[in-house]
Amino acid sequence: MKEATDVFNHWAHLGKDEGMERGHASAVNEMIDVAMERVLTDRVAFSAVDLGCGNGWVVRKLSQHPACVEAVGYDGAEHMIEKAKEVDLINAYHCAKFPDTKPDKTYQFVHSMEFLYYLKDPKNMLQSIHDDWLEKNGWAVIGIDHYAEHEESLGWPEALDVHMSTFSEEEWIQMWKDVGFQEIHAWRANAHDGKPGTLAILGKKS
């Protein structure tokens, strides 16, 4: 099977990152709105990091929030990061592979869309998000389109020739509990007209 980062590096060359941005925007907007209600409950400003940020569009979106003091993106596809840096000289973008990469600081808000299930051991990454990336009392929100109840998505690993870790909604939620997240909330973002929507999960590091 191909490496996910190689596939998405190629997608960036083909301009398919922009299609992903359009396709993910509604769910991500909803995820950020729901998360911000919690993030801004006990603070007036927040720092944010987007893991598997692609071309960095969510980093730029977060940086425009009036309460955001820092927004940073990480992705393992070199050309995604090159594209992010071409259009944005203000926010920081890092080309880095997970799960090996650990941050040199913690953040108050971790966002990730359509990244976690490309890893062989997503629970290990979720543990690292909780332990290494998040500040105490910080919040994470993660969006997943490939899950057992989304039948159409079960054909994606073969279609893309890329590894995807497949879990049910209940298994994903249990993972969040196991790694120590509190105040977990899970819902289907952007579910409409019979479409299953994005499995969105958020939680707090207490």
Ligand X SMILES: C[S@@+](CC[C@H](N)C(=O)[O-])C[C@H]1O[C@@H](n2cnc3c(N)ncnc32)[C@H](O)[C@@H]1O
Binding interface with ligand X (CB under 6 A)? 4-5, 8, 20-21, 24, 52-54, 75-77, 80, 97-98, 113-115, 118-119
Whose Cβ is closer to ligand X: residue 43's or residue 99's? 99
Q: What is the C-alpha separation between 131 and 17, in angstroms, rounded?
A: 30
Whose Cβ is closer to ligand X: residue 39's or residue 80's? 80
Least spacing, CB of residue 114 vs ligand X, in Å:
4
Least spacing, CB of residue 172 vs ligand X, in Å:
17
Burial code (b: 16+ CB inside 10 Å, e: under 16) for 137-150 equals ebbbbbbbbbbeeb
Whose Cβ is closer to ligand X: residue 98's or residue 176's? 98
H-helix or E-strand spanning residue 17: helix 16-39
CA torsion, ordered 10, 142, 144, 57, to nearest 10 deg: -40
| Neighbouring C-beta atoms of residue 19, cutoff 10 Å | 11
Whose Cβ is closer to ligand X: residue 44's or residue 92's? 92
Q: What is the C-alpha separation between 47 and 125, in angstroms, rounded?
A: 20
Least spacing, CB of residue 166 vs ligand X, in Å:
15
Least spacing, CB of residue 170 vs ligand X, in Å:
23
**169 in Cβ contact with 147 (< 8 Å):** yes
Least spacing, CB of residue 21 vs ligand X, in Å:
5
Reduced to 3 states (helix: H, G, I; strand: E, B; else coil), residue 168 is coil
Whose Cβ is closer to ligand X: residue 43's or residue 94's? 94
Q: What are phi and psi of 160, to 5 degrees?
A: -95, -10
Burial of 177 (0-12, 13-18, 19+ CB in 10 A): exposed
Whose Cβ is closer to ligand X: residue 24's or residue 188's? 24
Q: What is the C-alpha separation between 124 and 130, in angstroms, rounded?
A: 10
Least spacing, CB of residue 9 vs ligand X, in Å:
7
